[in-house]
Structure 1
């Protein structure tokens, strides 16, 4: 038996549980073709939870569930759907349905949608938009991808310095419905140049006849339209802002970026860095919704690079065959040494790359960071070397082999820590993404050096 969700029940239910309950009940009602029941089920549910529930439905039911929403609900829910599902719904809807949804989207969300659609479809939709919405969308699409201009919204409230608090409040009441946020108010001159910022709190607390120029803040934070989106997100985080003004080259206010958009940027950038650290080509779409051919194509690039570089390890081993032939026991410890070295290097590179991306460390501090990681590598090498020497002697009963393994592990840990901390700084100084110096790449480099060190140390200790 199915049941609707009351508002009181939703308030006392964890969000993840709500999503699962709504999805399960919605799928059951749709299978029974009980569309009125499905409609009633969704009434008290928030837009983001409806979007997630629709996303989790079988593909054949997604468009049906979306059609059950009222026009106002559909517009809100649509903005929370992933790009691939947005495109599928557009393709399934009739022309006027599509136009109603696209027309009422916020400009920044519409611009993100258009980035995902084929150019032919974008041109057709742009022609059908009202002149106001078309101009707002073209403004955003005119800026480079991944910049402040591309992710901003032109929906904000601006005031003049000579306004009184009463006039300002009246303007807010009149324009609030068409603004992305009203928590920050922006003061501009006659040429639309940004001259100050005022919070709603400060305005409400001010005397009604006080003029804006006496209560606004002239020392404010802003970004330009060509500022990288990651820098925008860091700025919002650093100054604890709910919104950040965007100006053009002439200091004219053209839009704002709200904290929810900054969170989306941080999530996308973090995903990209994690993919790169794992040796995986990133994409803008949902990895788990991408077809398997595309998934394989993205993953094979780095794997081919690693496959080719790993041949260097084989070449080193072949060049030292005489050592291995005389002391076969050395072979058993090669995987242990190169895996440990790769892991040490990956740890160092990960903390440095993360520090660079969060602005916690700068290239100017490279020497101090490398020294710190080198000391950490020496400590790790000493601890691991002692343990592995005892273990190797226990297994093989050969003190010379055990010492070769232990000394090699100390040296490999030092080199791995140095390489893992230095190479990301090198990439950043060259203007490249430090995440490209990913863990698999460092692991491969340390593998080659590790084998070379190990076999030469063994040759020296065993006097072969």
Structure 2
């Protein structure tokens, strides 16, 4: 689907005030595409188009709108209209919306909500931000073990319109303890008088409400799940997590990691929805910290100023050594951070990682040093002593950079810091300092200066 073409069509219809054509165009587009186009329009135009949608599709589109557009809508539309929209959302989408809204908007919405639902919403809003409880929904099908298949299917038919998913049903007792799961497929092909107790799978993969959502995502990937039950400490079923929410979690976590690896404070807003001031603020702190930390490399150069004055040519190779070291360290940190995210590497694997990176770095370092030595002799026409010093330093720098790049994310994990923080910017600064010290020490030893 060509979103840009549809967006241009929308604007053309607005210019001509051809709202009937606009309404017809939106009726045939998937809700996700309509929301994507509305997200890119001015808030007032977006609201006009949104109000042309039929009620059932409007609620679906609303769940896919950006926080910025939904916040704008909440200020521009009447309170009753907003409440009607919220009521038609699935419970987990409702919670996601309320979490992003100002307190005064939340109070207005909750004011007319039944007491039982209000208590439930408040309970969900109190779950930690990155926990399983914060992304679960209560809209699932529960069955009793003593039901027959016929009774279960009848129950599903009656309750299905209000449920987010019906493909996996959850078997509970009278105290809501989770006993097992049964798929809709198994129910459809089973005999009508067969008991649920005989069909259900008692080997349950479940998470606790306070489990981290990244851990939840790893279980979905490992077991190829479409949904997963969430239980409390007494093994009572309190909700389920569906695959669409896990996809959102993976996108958010990957975005945060990429931003942190680039030395940027994480933000959930898209690139074009952030103001220049906000973007500058998110980048400024890390840049300032790295700028200050870079003064250490300047002091190292000042300390060896006499050596550089004696043999000025040494200064020409400093950028190459520092850049190679920074790149080598970033390669290792990227691989280890990815391994940690996928669960392939654990904190206890520090010695294994160090050994592997050491072997890799020696192979890479010697290869680069050999090529660099030939380049300096054949192309740069540098004397053998200088070429030997630079190439030997290159081996040392690559080894140090790769070992440090591999171990720093593990260290961060051990002290409960996001490993992505230990990525390119910080590693580059550390490796730069080590590269300079190694270079000048080696030069002093072999060149006798």
Instruction: Tell me, yes or no, whether TM beats 0.5.
Output: yes
Partner of 1:12: none
Is the 2:43–2:69 contact (alpha carbons within 8 Å) kept by the matching residues of 1?
no
Tell me by how many angstroms 1:201 deviates. Answer: 0.8
Structure 2, unaligned runs of 5 or more: none
Whole-angstrom distance in 2 between the partners of 1:53 and 1:296: 27
Residue equivalent to 1:346: 330
Q: Does 1:459 align with 2:427?
A: no
Q: Which residue of 2 aligns with 1:225?
A: 209
Please provide the CA RMSD for this pair.
1.3
* Aligned residue in 2 for 1:11: none
Find the partner of 1:386 among 370, 386, 408. 370
User: Normalising by structure 2, what TM-score?
Assistant: 0.97
Matches within 5 A, 1:130-149: 130-131=114-115, 133-149=117-133
- Aligned residue for 1:436? 421
Alpha-carbon separation, structure 2, partners of 1:66 and 1:294 = 28
Are residues 1:260 and 2:244 paired? yes
Tell me if 1:37 matches 2:14. Answer: no
**1:213 to 2:193 alignment:** no
1:334 aligns with 2:314: no
Give the stretch that moved more between structures: 441-450 or 395-404.
Answer: 395-404
**Aligned: 1:423 with 2:408:** yes
**How far off is 1:311 after superposition?**
0.5
Within 5 Å, give how 1:305-316 maps onto structure 2: 305-316=289-300
Distance across 1 between alignment mates of 2:214 and 2:259: 17
Q: In structure 2, how many angstroms separate the alpha carbons of the residues matched to 1:135 and 1:183?
A: 28
Q: Could you tell me the TM-score, scaled by structure 1's length? A: 0.94
Query: C-alpha distance in 1, partners of 2:322/2:307?
Result: 18
2:359 corresponds to: 375
- How far off is 1:161 after superposition? 0.7
- Contact 1:164 1:211 survives alignment (8 Å): yes
Distance 2:292 2:209 in 1: 42
Give distance in 2, aligned partners of 1:36 and 1:331: 71
- Write the distance in 1 (CA, Å) between the matches of 2:302 and 2:104: 57
User: What is the CA distance between 1:288 and its match in structure 2?
Assistant: 2.9
Aligned-partner SS, 2:170: strand
The 10-residue stretch of structure 1 (401-410 or 344-353) with the greater mean CA deviation from structure 2: 401-410
8 Å Cα contact 1:352/1:421 also seen in 2: yes
Alignment check: 8 A CA contact 2:74 2:105 kept: no
* Alignment check: 8 A CA contact 2:177 2:237 kept: yes
Deviation (angstroms), 1:396: 4.5
Distance 2:283 2:64 in 1: 28
2:392 — aligned with what? Answer: 407
Q: What are the equivalent positions in structure 2 for 1:185-334 lying under 5 Å apart?
A: 185-334=169-318
- Residue-by-residue CA offset, 1:256-284 (whole Å, 9 max, x unaligned): 00011011101101111111111111023
